[in-house]
Amino acid sequence: MGGAVSAGEDNDDLIDNLKEAQYIRTERVEQAFRAIDRADYYLEGYRDNAYKDLAWKHGNIHLSAPCIYSEVMEALKLHPGLSFLNLGSGTGYLSTMVGLILGPFGINHGVEIHADVVDYAREKLDNFIKKSDSFDKFEFCEPVFVVGNCIDVLSDNLQYDRVYCGAGVQKDHENYMKIFLKVGGVLVMPMEDQLTQIIRTGQNTWETKNILAVSFAPLIQPNRSDCFKSENVKLPPVTVRCLQDLARIYIRRNLRNLINQESQAKNGPQKVAPKRKRKKLRRRKIDTYVFVGNQLIPQPFDSDEEDKMEENGEEEEKELNESFKQEEPPPNLLRERILSLPLPESLKAYLTFYRQK
């Protein structure tokens, strides 16, 4: 499923295309998509396909098409402090983007049936926290993943503000999915070949809206045979942050706000520079013909105009390449400010989440 928008040269280019096609419509969703490079969730030999609007699957690892994730993120109507449950959390790509919007006081849980995919998701999450330049630009709600079949989840009266299911839901499982949703909450799931948004308006009242025609693999049904009984799946516990963790959140927040204030006072409001795209050159082919006797014979002709176009195109390409080479990643001002504080090195390391850059 996918192919609704043109392929991008890189992650930003893909997001530009999704915005232009109106799949991404809000600033929060756009910022989350730009912060997480989709290629980071591909296996090394398949990264060339990361910026195409197509689903990708290798073994148990699966990513939906970017246009699908865009519609899901928009339909969930996310904002800071919400609780989120991802049923069929897969690589953790969607859960990580959601975590950037929920912030440090949200809840971010995922259930995935394949243990190897949960290991893969935890590895990708660890790489994002330790290595991504985007991590210090956001307050993050770290996803917590558990292994199990989402149909075997014990709700234990735990309900969420937002729920997403990443597999095709049969109609007879609709009410089961609704159990996880708080009043006022939003459930998004593929059902009967439609990406469906369900809002719980009351204890027993719901509003349902079809968003997009989709095709998803169906939920894997638990094995109920006598020789093998499915184990009930426990959702991650909801924990209260310790005082040390709260202190780190507020220190980083205050430093980030101070840096933004200093930057605005010095340079004015920050503006995002428009992304420069390579220009495609259209060259005219000029053919001439000469008469030799009674025959009309094509004759090659060197056009000064064509030569100039080629020269201008080459110069433009050279300038563009040089500008790309000169671009350097912006400094991590938050990290620099933390490392400059008169604090023990162990405390600085804690405040930077033990990141190496």
Q: Which of 6, 64, 83, 303 is catalytic?
A: 64
Is-catalytic flag, 64? yes
Q: How far apart are CA 205 and CA 183, in angstroms?
A: 9
Residue 100 burial (C-beta neighbours within 10 Å; 0-12, 13-18, 19+): buried
Quote the Cα angle for 22-23-29, to 5°. 110
Total Cβ atoms within 10 A of residue 58: 11
Three-class SS of residue 287?
strand
> Can you list the alpha helix ranges (DSSP code H) found in 115-155?
115-131
Distance between first and last Cα of the chain: 37
Q: How far apart are CA 130 and CA 162, in angstroms?
A: 27
Q: Which residues have a catalytic role annotated?
A: 64
